[in-house]
Amino acid sequence: MHHCTTFTSTMSSFRTLPLEQFLAQLAAKQPTPGGGAAAAVGASIGAAAAQMSAAYTQRKKDKESGAAAKAAALIGALNVEPLLQAADDDAAAYADLQRTWKEAGMGAEEKAAIEARALSIPTQLLEQCHAHIVKIHEFLPHCNKMITSDAKVGMHQLAGAARAAYQTVLVNSPPEEEKMRLSKLLTEIRALEDEILG
């Protein structure tokens, strides 16, 4: 039987911490929050910035052109909740990893499951960032021109989070083919960033 750590009433959720407290904990000499949580929170900020640009694309002329419908679809697609949840999931996965180092009697099957989960969390975060960036890029031609820069801020923030998540992936020793697959996603992200920076 696999026993994965989850957040309980005795563990603080990073999702509900005031930003100042989260940053203080991130800066402290303690295992969590770490790089995985930083990537997750950064991704959620990027998604929120892009949602804001879509929220401003709800004018009468946006409704008439169909841009408002595209904006509403983007707002729905850029759900920050799973991104924030990844911060807590990463901390729980790290706690489980620590058990694999300390519990000599842990079975090989349980250890493998814990290692797989630790790898899956930053992998999924990177994939979510990539998907969100693609959606925001597709929305840019329809965005309220007065606030397009905020949509681009969202793309850049998500791009940084994707690269940060990749660093956490690497720490968890992914197979070579998985590294190549994720590197390709990062290359696609960089191409979209270069386009909007031009």
What does the pLDDT profile of the chain (198 residues) look like in tens digits?
344 455 443 356 888 889 999 999 999 999 889 999 999 999 999 999 999 999 999 999 999 999 999 999 999 999 999 999 999 999 999 888 888 888 888 888 988 899 999 999 999 999 999 999 999 999 999 999 999 999 999 999 999 999 999 999 999 999 999 999 999 999 999 999 999 998
Which tokens in the block code for residue 16? 């509900």
* pTM recorded for the entire structure: 0.91
pLDDT score of 3: 44
pLDDT score of 111: 86
Closest CA to 46 of 180, 124, 162: 162
pLDDT score of 11: 53
DSSP states of 137-194: HHHGGGS-GGGHHHHHHHHHHHHHHHHHHHHHHHHT---HHHHHHHHHHHHHHHHHHH
Residue 52 CA, distance from chain mean position: 18
Which tokens in the block code for residue 164? 């940060």
pLDDT score of 10: 39
Contact residues for 109 (Cβ-Cβ < 8 A; gap 6+)? 2
